[in-house]
Amino acid sequence: MLERIASPADLRGLTYGELDALAEEIRDYLVSSVSLTGGHLGPNLGVVELTLGLHRVFQSPHDTLVFDTGHQSYVHKLLTGRQDFSDLRKRGGLAGYPSRAESEHDVVENSHASTALSWAAGIARGRTLAGETDRTTVGVIGDGALTGGMAWEALNSLADAHDRVVIVVNDNGRSYAPTIGGLARKLDGIRINPRYEQFLGWGKRTFENRGPWRNFAYRTVMHGKRAVKGLITEPGMFDDLGLKYVGPVDGHDLRQVEAALTAARDFGAPVIVHVLTEKGRGYTPAEEDVADRFHAVGRIHPETGLPVKPSRFGWTKVFAEEIVAVGREREDVVALTAAMLAPVGLQPFADEFPERVIDVGIAEQHAVTSAAGLAFAGRHPVVAVYATFLNRAFDQVLMDVALHGAGVTFMLDRAGITGDDGPSHNGMWDMALLRHVPGLRLAAPRDAPTMRRAFREALDVNDAPTVVRYPKGPVGDDLPAVRSIGDLDVLAEHGAEPQVIVVGLGSMAPTAIDAAEKIAAGGVSVTAMTATWVHPVPAGLVDALGDASLVVTIEDGLADAGIGEEWAAAARTAGHDARWMHRGVPREFLQHAARDQIVEQVGLDASAIADDVVAALA
């Protein structure tokens, strides 16, 4: 069946029996393919019928579909002619999110959550202004993305709009974990309302006569608040915003999905369609999972869902252990995260200290400002997020935390080059951005001992923000210092009076050691160094440089305006006249590939750096 679907138009001639068979085949394909490559499995198993319905009711790309977040777009890819998942998220293969380079059906490369409704509002208004009144814009928002404040800003605006927008709330009750907060409780209330069961049963019984069902759905929309409150759900929520509402709809009953979407499409103004789905649908290991291990997976055995290769002890695990140890010692430590309790390592802390963990949902701005409030109230908040997601709250770091001298510690997981999740998930912007925040102190530990120490040192700072950044993946071997000069650690020495200093920041410290060894093989005196606290400029920098004529900095953040440039400026100001060479990530969006491939691509491997140094000396 799947091979017969070259475009969404091929779906419209199928019977419901054929569509049910296609849905089963899609789920089988997702399990078999994603188990080989890794990727977002659970979310896509849950949206099969919903995506089929979207592409039967709407005519993409004439109508615009925006997925939020974009990791639930795998089925959309399959139905729009992209059925080779063999290199999913690998260089040259399909991206794990929508990609304009792949298809005209992909409009928003949406991998940061809660933005789709703003995109939809803008696209729809643009269509209206152009007189394109036959085109509908659809925003599919789910996996907890509706907890983000930006989504509600968009809903507030859409309530006053008259453009052709359909807002599909894919309500599976989960993001990386069960969705939390007042919104989640309200959706739960709608989901378990007895009228919902009556509604679903009535819809199924009468669908044999499609006219009455469609008329019912249409009347529900047309009559607005009275019909919604009286027939489907209790007062409040979306209808009290002034938005028309249809639902809740069984997201795994294609007939109901199509009827609701058709009614919303024909209304011609903003309508919310509330669709209930089950994350991991049709795959027993995912359906039985209570920890959302199948939200995103590595390579797994499809029969059992178990990893092909167990994960090695990772950086996140180091933090998870250390914050629990700290929590037993200090009652003032409180942890915050944005819908990523387990991925950032806070689950063990939450298990032991449930009252001292706050999961705000996908709302990084709120997390950071509320952390400033916690600091004012005498706590020491620890905000644990992916490095790429702190970008969303830069203003709050600057104006709410730093301006007020708040002692807040930020633990930035997945810092640097992450690779396979593509340009939006590389945590490459943080050092270049954060070094401009007055009073902020930033650490880039090189191994587990320096990370544990940096975290505890950060917690002792109560008058300014502190940041500890660390990469994705396993922790390497410990890298003890040969000796220290001020706040800098010497990791390897080749010759007594170094002509070249190679500085590796954080996870690039092993690269500095390897590069120094390769440079020394050519008869050059060279020293490899690092520092744990990289901003402000570490004390003793000029003394550590000695009489070196060339200093090379290696960082897995932006080379332009990064930490290396800050150190170089400080050295020049102090009168040191060495030449500097900065190696880091270029100021561009890096397409998905393995981390090692990207490192080589941007010239951050030890061999390339050593060759550059030899050429510079010549």
Residues with active-site annotation: 279, 364, 392
By CB neighbour count within 10 A (0-12 exposed, 13-18 middle, 19+ buried), where does 373 fall? middle
Residue from 97, 14, 93 nearest 55 by CA: 14
SS3 track for 272-293: EEEEECCCCCCCHHHHCCCCCC
DSSP type of residue 445: -
CA angle 117, 410, 381 (to 5 degrees): 100
Q: Checking phi first, is residue 575 left (phi over 0); if not, alpha (psi -120 to 50) or beta?
A: left
* 462 among annotated binding-site residues: no
- Spatial neighbors of 361 by CB under 8 A, at least 6 apart, are 144, 147, 148, 175, 179, 180, 181, 183, 184, 338, 339
Q: What are phi and psi of 10, to 5 degrees?
A: -70, -15
CA distance 535 to 222: 59
Rounded CA-CA distance 394/371 in Å is 14
Enumerate residues 6+ apart whose C-beta is below 8 A from 42: 279, 280, 286, 289, 292, 294, 295, 296
β-sheet bridge partners, residue 381: 334
d(CA 117, CA 137): 10
Cα 138 to Cα 11: distance, rounded to the nearest angstrom = 18
Residue that has been written with the tokens 């639930």 in this structure: 72
Q: Per DSSP, which regions of 362-485 are E strands?
A: 380-386, 409-413, 441-443, 466-469, 483-485
Which helix (H) or strand (E) is 245 found in, with range?
strand 244-250
Q: State whether residue 109 is helix, strand or coil.
A: coil
Residue with tokens 């606290």: 533
Calpha distance 34→85 (Å, rounded): 8
Phi/psi of residue 475, each to 5°? -85, 135
- Find all residues with CB under 8 Å of 131, minimum gap 6, and list them: none
Does 145 show up as a binding residue in the annotation?
A: yes
3-state percent breakdown (helix, strand, coil) of the chain, nearest 5: 45, 15, 40
- Cα–Cα distance, 371 to 367 (Å, whole number): 6
Instruction: Check whether 111 is labelled as a binding-site residue.
Output: yes
Length of the chain: 618
What span, in angstroms and rounded, lies between the C-alpha atoms of 556 and 429?
Answer: 9
Question: Which tokens sit at 220?
Answer: 């529900």
> 144 a known binding residue?
yes
Q: Which residue type occupies 56? A: R
**Placement of tokens 């430590």 in the chain:** 333
518 with 429: CB under 8 angstroms? no
Contact 473, 414 (CB under 8 A): no
Binding-site residue positions: 71, 111-113, 143-145, 172, 283, 364
Please enumerate, by residue number, every residue annotated as part of a binding site for Mg(2+). Answer: 143, 172
As annotated, the binding site for thiamine diphosphate includes: 71, 111-113, 144-145, 172, 283, 364
